Amino acid sequence: MNLRCFTYIILLLTLFACELERDLDIPLPTGEKYYTLEAYLVHNEPYQTLLFRSNTMQGPVVFDLVWNASVKIINNTDTIRLSNIIQTDNTNNYIYNYYNDKLVDRNTAGYELSIITKTSDTLSAFSLSVPEVEIDSFRVMNNLLSVFTNNTNLPGSNYYMIRYYTYPLGENVHQQKVFDYSEKPEGLVQIDFPLSSDSIDSLYVNLYRINQTAFNYHISIEKAYAANHDPFTIPGPIQGNIKNGFGIFTCCSLDTCMIYLP
């Protein structure tokens, strides 16, 4: 038989035999449902938090909001009780299920969180306040967003988060990333962030100053996510600051800007 013909037959047999993926009938690891909280206390914005529970590998996947809990945030002089009300942030479509319209005071040194759920489970956390942040200038060049701001001389306060929203053809695209500038000197620093698309009409940029706890939290969730698909990232636990639960309770300051691209 012609060798080439024979080889092609074998190749085709090989190719048609390929079955790359299939469902697997295995018992999945068991785990508990954990309370999870996200609370960013932004200066001069209302107190708002999101309290929900995680999913296990068994059972249906739901976004399991926790209702009727007693949520208190305590500063030096005041106790703020948050009501169980669904609130939506129209800028980013975030939702919160505990809210108080009182504004976060920038001059408070720190905040304590205390939660007692309907089933008498307790969660608590503490966060120090951070200095104000201000966008000095910005630029977009070669599909790279550069934001300039000033580092402070306070230890532990030179962590940043950039969150931007783009509006190409009316579609809202949201990206965020945290940055550690704690080893940079006081003064002007440049924070670079690559844009996800080169067909951007306009850009709404949020620059947050966050503390180290929040920075570590974001890094750990990025890594946990990456470990699911990136072979070079080792799975690790999510590092939050919520006692008896997951998530983050943190103070932050915010400055924003709108960029229209030619």
Partner 1 sequence: MKKTRYSIFRVIPKQVFLYIRSMRCLFKFILLFCIFSLCSLNGIMGNPIKGKLLDSDTRRPVGNALIILKTTNTHTISDSSGIFSLNINTFPAILEISHVSYEFAEYPLNQYTSNEITILLIPKTEQLESLVFVHKNKKEEELALKKINWGKAKISKLTSGFGEPDIIRSLQVLPGIQKSSEINASLNVRGSGHGNNRISLDGLPIYNSYHLLGIAPMFNAEVINKVDLYKSGFPASKGGYLASYLDIESRAPSMEDKKLIFGIGNLSSKILFEGPVVKDKIGILFSARYAFFDMISNIYEELHQDREDFISLPDYQFYDINLVSDISLPKYFKLRVSFFHNTDNFAYAPSALKLESKWANDLLSLSLSRSINKNTFIRFTSGLSFYSFNGKYNPSWIIKRTNNITSFENQLFLSYKPSGNWSIETGTFLQHNNYYLNNKEMYPSSIIREATFTPVSLLWGFYAESNFRFTKQLSFIAGNRFNFYSFDQTIFCPSPRIQFNYSGNSVGINMSYDETWQFNHLIAPLGFNIPADLWIPADKNIPPQKARQIALHFNHHHSNFKTGAGIFYKQFKNLSELKNGAELVELEPAEELTFGTGFAYGFETSGTYKNKLLEIELNYTYSNSKRKFSEINNGQVFSPSYDIPHKFDAVFSIDITKNITTNITWFWASGSITTMPTGFIFIPHSANSNPYPLYSERNNFRMPATHRLDIATVFSKNHSWGNSQLAIGIYNAYNQTNPYFLFFILRTDEHDEVSVIPQQLGIFPCTPFINFKVELK
* Contacts to partner 1 from residues 33-52, by CB under 8 A: 33-34, 36, 38, 40, 50, 52
Which neighbouring-strand residues pair with 114? Answer: 72, 124
Q: What is the DSSP letter of 261?
A: -
Q: For the sheet with 144-151, list strands across it.
A: 135-141, 144-151, 187-194
User: Does residue 262 touch partner 1 according to CB under 8 A?
Assistant: no
Q: Are the C-beta atoms of residues 159 and 182 closer than 8 Å to each other?
A: yes
Least distance from partner 1 to the Cβ atom of residue 127, Å: 15
Q: Which is nearer to partner 1, 25 or 155 (CB)?
A: 25
171 binds partner 1 (CB under 8 A): no
Which CB sits closer to partner 1, 107 or 199? 199
Stretch that binds partner 1, among 24-32, 69-77, 107-115, 128-136 (CB under 8 A): 24-32
Count of residues engaged in binding partner 1, rule: CB under 8 A = 73
Q: Counting contacts by CB under 8 A, is residue 174 touching partner 1?
A: yes
Q: How far is CA 57 from the centre of its chain?
A: 22
Q: Binding to partner 1 (CB under 8 A): which residues in 210-229?
A: 218-225, 227-229
The dihedral sign for the CA sequence 91, 160, 128, 250: positive
State in angstroms the smallest separation of the CB of 253 from partner 1.
Answer: 16
């304590």: which residue's tokens?
Answer: 112
Q: DSSP secondary-structure letter at 28?
A: P
Candidate list 108, 165, 177, 212; residue touching partner 1; CB under 8 A: 177
Q: Does 198 participate in binding partner 1 (rule CB under 8 A)?
A: no
Separation CA 254–CA 41 (nearest Å): 10
What is the H or E stretch that residue 39 is in? Answer: strand 35-42
* CA 45 remoteness from chain centre: 18
Cβ 76 to partner 1 shortest distance, Å: 26
Residue 183 lies near partner 1 (rule: CB under 8 A): no
Q: In Å, how far from its chain's centre is CA 71?
A: 21
User: Of residues 101, 121, 186, 230, which one binds partner 1 by CB under 8 A?
Assistant: 230
Name the residue nearer to partner 1 (CB basis): 79 or 143: 143
Beta carbon of residue 70, minimum distance to partner 1 (angstroms, whole number): 22
The CA distance from 188 to 212, in Å, is 20
Q: Does 29 bind partner 1 (CB under 8 A)?
A: yes
10 Å Cβ neighbour count for 76? 11
Options 30-38, 68-76, 122-130, 181-189: segment touching partner 1 (CB under 8 A): 30-38
